[in-house]
Amino acid sequence: MVVLTRFQHLLLQPRLLSSHQSRVLRHPLIRTRTVIRSVMGSSSSSSSKLLFRQLFEKESSTYTYLLADVSHPDKPALTKVPGVKSVISKASGSKADMFLEPGDKVSIGDIYLEVRATPGHTAGCVTYVTGEEANQPQPRMAFTGDAVLIRGCGRTDFQGGSSDQLYESVHSQIFTLPKDTLIYPAHDYKGYEVSTVGEEMQHNPRLTKDKETFKSIMSNLNLAYPKMIDVAVPANMVCGLQDLPSQANL
Q: What is the residue-level pLDDT of the chain in tens, covering all 250 positions?
A: 677 765 555 655 443 333 332 223 333 333 333 333 232 344 333 344 677 888 888 877 888 887 776 543 333 333 345 566 778 888 877 777 888 899 999 888 888 899 999 999 988 899 999 999 988 888 999 999 999 999 999 999 877 899 999 999 999 999 999 999 999 998 888 888 899 999 999 999 999 999 999 999 999 998 776 665 555 555 555 555 545 444 444 4
Terminal CA-CA length for the chain: 20
Domains of the chain, first to last: 2-221 (3.60.15.10)
What pTM was computed for the model? 0.73
In the prediction, which pLDDT does 77 show? 33
Element (H, E) at 63: strand 62-69
| Rounded Cα distance, 16 and 238, in Å | 25
pLDDT score recorded for residue 95: 77
CA–CA dist 196, 180 (Å, integer): 6
Q: Give every CB contact of residue 238 below 8 A, 6+ residues apart in sequence.
A: 94, 95
